[in-house]
A and B are shown apart, each in its own frame.
Chain A
Amino acid sequence: MSLALTLSVSFWSDQFVNGLTTGSLYALIALGYTMVYGVLKMINFAHGEVFMLGSFAGYGALVAMGGNDLSGPVIALAILGAIIVAMAASVSASVVIERLAYRPLRNAPRLAPLISAIGVSIFLQYLVLEQTSARAKFYPDIFPRGSVAAGPFEITYIQLFLIASSVAMMAVLYAIIQRTRLGRAIRAVAENPTNASLMGVDVNRTIVFVFILGAAMAGVAGVLYGLFFQTIRGSMGFIPGIKAFTAAVLGGIGSIPGAMAGGYALGLAETVGRELLNELPGINLGNQWRDVIAFTLLVAILIFRPTGIFAQRSTTRA
């Protein structure tokens, strides 16, 4: 098998940047899955909808601030405002969901909260579809177009912004988990809730904080997604949600660095990975194969390394 790549360097660097961009979004959303799994051993399937709500809230904020008429430096402020509104919306939704749909089932069999999460997911999705009469909304086209070149890489401003802000958010999150009292409480609850509560940790409060942190990440991801792809709809949370879940499993569910690595790995597999496969003779996988590749990866990971790339160690999980 010869791996003489037939395509140009700029093609591969473009696909690499595309992969990183999508991967950043997956990683941001995956954090919410992995943290909740870490403390509750439960998969919060409504997380994709928390992301969707954030995106819609950010859209509302941007439109209220002037939408397409924004120009100049105000745009930066407007985007910051939209991100804050989106985080607030995602966080409040998540706290309410936790209180109403999950906490009453805390001591129920493990299947019960999972089913409850799927219920919440469907409810929120159809609520928004109903409210928007299932039509797409278009984010204001305000982000400056243009790109910077770095070696073979040509990165558009929006991609740069997306990658940089997601990395920054993840760094902040990692610092919170590793360096603060709250982070220590989260790690303690993750390790053993009973022991943690004996040590004076308020378990319920800590769990709420886990939901808040995950939802804040999802809210940011929602606005970034809207600014980048410009099209949002009520059903938009489903596929990124499933992909982020795949990313979390890929990295080792429960592990924070794992979720980040898994997100990037999945984003790159869908773009660069697919094109690499296309280099093999007789294979021509069009864009429609990307989901096949993502989920084949999920199946393969579950078969060969169910604990993920970053096998869970108790000190790093949260």
Chain B
Amino acid sequence: MAPDNMIEASGLTKRYGDTQALAGVDFVVPAGTILGVLGPNGAGKTTAVRILTTLASPDSGRGTVAGFDVVTQAADVRRCMGVAAQDATLDGALTGRQNLVLIGELSRMGRSAAKKRADDLLERFNLTDAADRIMKGYSGGMRRRLDLAASTMTRPSVLFLDEPTTGLDPVSRQRMWEVIRELVSDGVTLLLTTQYLDEADTLADNIVVIDHGRVIAEGTPRQLKEASKSARLEVTLSFPADGAVAALQPLVAGRVLVSADGQHLSAAIDSGSGLATAVVRALDAAGIVVDNIEIRQPSLDDVFFSLTGNAPDDADDERPLTVDDLPNELEGVSA
């Protein structure tokens, strides 16, 4: 009964005054997968989510959720999705538990079923201790977990999370990621927007990159990285050697760059296949001693930069952590 694609957007456009927020966006999210919608602030991510969650109507194009049209069958869409978005918040003057029960009641679960489900979720999201405190006093991480719990009250088959970790400290982000992974292992279809490359890389099965209201790239995290063709060779020498550049240059695609201390060399490469062996042989033949050879696959950061021409974070000063702060994290996760 469930359609193959639980979320579909085709040709979505939306204009707010002079701003073309969406200029024709297409993507699909197959059942049981996570789509990461990646883009800088103002790229149109939130607008796309608002249309798909029935909060805004598109000027043209069509969206479906669980097979239902988001404009003509909005009531059906609302029955099968859960939404946690920064601009659609819970009630700060209610306690965590009251918020969950209210969302459950308004989702027509019935009061007793809502209470029971709220208890389960408060425990599952590690909020039992704070359950009867007013939400205004929650930390950012607790608030987001409560938001996520609220969006799963009815066990929806489709979830929309709009920037679920923006503004969180690193520890809270890691916890959010764990919770999100757990949800998806239960078979939920998830659309997640984010400005964080590492987040999309870690969580998403597929990524679409949106900029200026258009999809400018899509694919798996791996495909996107390969498409950017910016793999680099990095060589560390035991001590500076004059012949090193000459020995490496025939093996690489770009110009060989040398660090100030003369020990670190790097260059763009076309293919990593067999390259390490060739590099060692060439340097050994020139009598140069090598400490380390690394072939660095492009990070999504590089991809993003090459696609949008701007760093993803330069619009948002509130970011607690940038990919640049953790230069090695991507390699570890995406291997």
Q: Do A and B originate from a single complex?
A: no
Residues of A within 8 A of B (CB): none
